[in-house]
Amino acid sequence: MFSSLLIANRGEIACRIMRTAKRLGIRTIAVYSDADKDALHVEMADEAWHIGGAAATESYLIANKIIEVAKEAGADAIHPGYGFLSENAELAESCTEAGIVFVGPSAEAIRAMGLKGTAKSLMEKAGVPVVPGYHGNNQDGKFLKQKAYEIGYPVLIKAVAGGGGKGMRLVEKVKNFDDALESARREAGAAFGNEEVLIEKFITSPRHVEMQIFADGKGNAIHLFERDCSLQRRHQKVIEEAPAPGMTDEVRNAMGEAAVNAAKAVNYSGAGTVEFIADGSDGLRPDRFFFMEMNTRLQVEHPVTEEITGLDLVEMQLQVAAGEGLDLDQDEIALNGHSVEARIYAEDPENGFLPSTGHLALLSLAEMPGVRIETGVRDGDDVSPYYDPMIAKIVTHGANRDEALDRLSNALGESLIAGPKTNIAFLRALIDAEDFRGNKFDTGFIDRNLDDLVTPLPGLREAMAALGAIRIVEQRVEGQTDDAVKASPWNVADGFQLGDTRSTGIDILANGKKASFVIEWVDGGPAISLGAEAEDWPEVEATLVDERGGVIVLAEGWQVRVSLPDYSTAGFDDDGDGSVIRSPMHGKLLQLFVGDGDKVSKGDRLAIVEAMKMEHSLTAALDGVVAEISAVAGDQVSEGQRLIVIHNDDE
């Protein structure tokens, strides 16, 4: 076995690989970018090397740099994890040249499976069923259209170099073919520098079922059963489970054999995944699944396979890479129970799943029996805008599917994340959806049910906003020292307007949107009577004060940020004359050119905010005096955050 291992990755997968390496007594070497110097994977490693700028193209994607560090650090082997350089044949080659072991298959195997078209031809030859379609070299538009006609609509156009659903277009009717082809080519060209496409029959009621395989390059190849990854959004996996619901021994054997043949056809070595698309319109059938592609690396969802087999896939990868061979026969692999994984992302389901990066004001993931958590961030860390905004994977195991799903639902319910928006409520709604529980789902399930899955009930949102308003008032009251003042609601908050009754209106911002409530003073504390829509108060999981003095309310997996307009972020203009300078985006306040009390003239440069390597200058919109500066150089600032206030000269 190796004595040292460099992990050419970051986040949860780097941490997960290190855990196994440490258990095996292997010295762990981490690499990190500017953005990751305090990251968990750096802390966990025995040693860590800085490799460059925050953007992946300046660090995690530079193969030469990684080889250089590996040599200097004396690494025996490099584990690439998933993503980044994990399917980069050049890295595999450079490793060999440098006398370092690449934990993965040969460069030839990576190349053979790298292009979907070539891989499909290869698989056809090896007797692996492939989706009916055209995957040849002729890229003439008219010819491809003719092929689409012969295959029969609906068809899928796929970029041969594709990945992550990019360059893929579903064409339902012949009249849409030309436009779809053009846009698929454009997207593929931009993303992969390769415009070539293939045409495939679009399988109706498609289920994504993949086989985990292992081979040692010495003629031994086995499979570790299947995973069902049919719950997808934009062709990206959201929930993965093993075994596949409705799987029979007959189909599993046929699929396993096909997957092992696929691996043998490229003299594969290490962990790999053979992805199949199954026509699920009639249940899983031995003659209705087709090869889609092979991923020549460890997958994000490998833990569900570990849970049902009791094997450590990273350990097996290291053993095979170290030349120790596979010491397991197919009939020694046992399937125990059921496992499900959910990917928690920093994203905003209510707003088209836009990434929602930033400071984790709270991260508390449920540790319970049957629950395994894989994460690369800690409470108080930032979710970086530079990389995939995954916060954690929650993996559960149970005696059967229902138990595993119940455990996942509970674990999601008990997990609290504040700061970035997350998809927790969406994941929970999915896990608990009746048709998903009843095995009635395919890859279109999320899209078909999107509205129900991403929108909290309006009443819930209102109630959460009201709770936030109450917390803010309470906070204000607690902040008053004089007991007499404390008892009186009328002096406590600038959001109040004095009325002649013991109730008063309060304006707040809830997730940036203005809302008004009437606050009454009941039993010495503030209270709000909710409108008709919100009859029930939600079970609040947490309220916490955010970095700008507002309140974050967490309930049922949703998050509402409440603030008084004074602390406002985007969406509530308390200026209008340009006297308040706000950050135009999430980023870093790079430089401040003015100080409190400085005189400024219209057009003067006040500050620079930087995000994604782009600098934005903030300038004065009027002549005046700097009356307030609310951040210091180096601060992370959010979009709409108030940075500087200028008072007009004649005020």
Give the residue numbers marked as catalytic: 297
Residue from 79, 111, 120, 208 touching ligand ADP (CB under 6 A): that is 208
Gap between the Cα atoms of 154 and 149, Å rounded:
9
- Is residue 433 part of the contact set for ligand ADP (CB under 6 A)? no
DSSP characters over 331-397: GG----SEEEEEEEESEEGGGTTEE--EE-SEEE----TTEEEEES--TT-EE-TTS--EEEEEEEE
Residue from 35, 62, 156, 412 touching ligand ADP (CB under 6 A): that is 156
Nearer to ligand ADP, 235 or 613 (CB): 235
Residue from 32, 134, 177, 202 touching ligand ADP (CB under 6 A): that is 202
**On the CB side of 68, how many CA atoms lie within 13 Å of its CA?**
10
Q: How far is the CB of 216 from ligand ADP (least distance, A)?
A: 26
Residue from 59, 88, 106, 232 touching ligand ADP (CB under 6 A): that is 232
C-alpha separations of 370 from 12, 304, 401 in Å: 19, 12, 13
- Is residue 277 part of the contact set for ligand ADP (CB under 6 A)? yes
Which of the stretches 197-205, 380-388, 447-455, 610-618 binds ligand ADP when contact is defined by CB under 6 A? Answer: 197-205
- Is residue 275 part of the contact set for ligand ADP (CB under 6 A)? yes
Helices (H), 480-583: 483-487
Which of the stretches 198-206, 446-454, 496-504, 534-542 binds ligand ADP when contact is defined by CB under 6 A? Answer: 198-206
**On the CB side of 177, how many CA atoms lie within 13 Å of its CA?**
21
Judged by DSSP in three states, 616 sits in strand
Nearer to ligand ADP, 200 or 348 (CB): 200
- Which residue is it, tokens 């569900």? 304
- Encode 242-254: b = buried (16+ Cβ within 10 Å), e = exposed: bbbbebeeebbeb
Judged by DSSP in three states, 146 sits in helix
- Is residue 355 part of the contact set for ligand ADP (CB under 6 A)? no
Gap between the Cα atoms of 58 and 33, Å rounded:
8
Q: How far is the CB of 298 from ligand ADP (least distance, A)?
A: 16
* Number of residues near ligand ADP (by CB under 6 A): 21
Gap between the Cα atoms of 344 and 427, Å rounded:
8
Gap between the Cα atoms of 235 and 565, Å rounded:
40
| Contact residues for 46 (Cβ-Cβ < 8 A; gap 6+) | 27, 28, 29
- Is residue 33 part of the contact set for ligand ADP (CB under 6 A)? no
- Is residue 565 part of the contact set for ligand ADP (CB under 6 A)? no
Gap between the Cα atoms of 104 and 619, Å rounded:
52
Contact 18, 41 (CB under 8 A): yes
- Is residue 443 part of the contact set for ligand ADP (CB under 6 A)? yes
Nearer to ligand ADP, 238 or 263 (CB): 238
Which of the stretches 56-64, 76-84, 203-211, 485-493 binds ligand ADP when contact is defined by CB under 6 A? Answer: 203-211
Residue from 292, 318, 515, 562 touching ligand ADP (CB under 6 A): that is 292
| Contact residues for 262 (Cβ-Cβ < 8 A; gap 6+) | 123, 126, 128, 213, 268, 274, 291, 294
Q: How far is the CB of 154 from ligand ADP (least distance, A)?
A: 8
Residue from 216, 226, 241, 293 touching ligand ADP (CB under 6 A): that is 293
Q: How far is the CB of 284 from ligand ADP (least distance, A)?
A: 15
Contact 108, 269 (CB under 8 A): no
Residue from 29, 101, 131, 510 touching ligand ADP (CB under 6 A): that is 131
Q: Please name which of 555, 554, 552, 557 lies closest in space to residue 538, comparing C-alpha atoms.
A: 555
Q: How far is the CB of 28 from ligand ADP (least distance, A)?
A: 30
Nearer to ligand ADP, 76 or 210 (CB): 210
- Is residue 200 part of the contact set for ligand ADP (CB under 6 A)? yes
Within residues 159-188, the interface with ligand ADP by CB under 6 A covers: 162-165, 168
Site string for ligand ADP, 235-254 (x = CB under 6 A): x-------------------
Site string for ligand ADP, 316-335 (x = CB under 6 A): --------------------
Nearer to ligand ADP, 273 or 415 (CB): 273
Nearer to ligand ADP, 342 or 560 (CB): 342
Q: How far is the CB of 240 from ligand ADP (least distance, A)?
A: 11
Gap between the Cα atoms of 633 and 608, Å rounded:
9
DSSP helix, strand, coil percent of the chain (3-state; round to 5):
30, 30, 40
Beta pairing partners, 395: 341, 372
Helices (H), 415-511: 424-432, 434-437, 445-448, 450-454, 458-479, 483-487
Nearer to ligand ADP, 163 or 355 (CB): 163
Which of the stretches 158-166, 311-319, 433-441, 448-456 binds ligand ADP when contact is defined by CB under 6 A? Answer: 158-166
- Is residue 378 part of the contact set for ligand ADP (CB under 6 A)? no
For the CA atoms of 7, 10, 15, 21, what is the dihedral angle to 10 degrees? 0
The binding site for ligand ADP (CB under 6 A) comprises: 131, 156, 158, 162-165, 168, 200-203, 206, 208, 232, 235, 275, 277, 292-293, 443
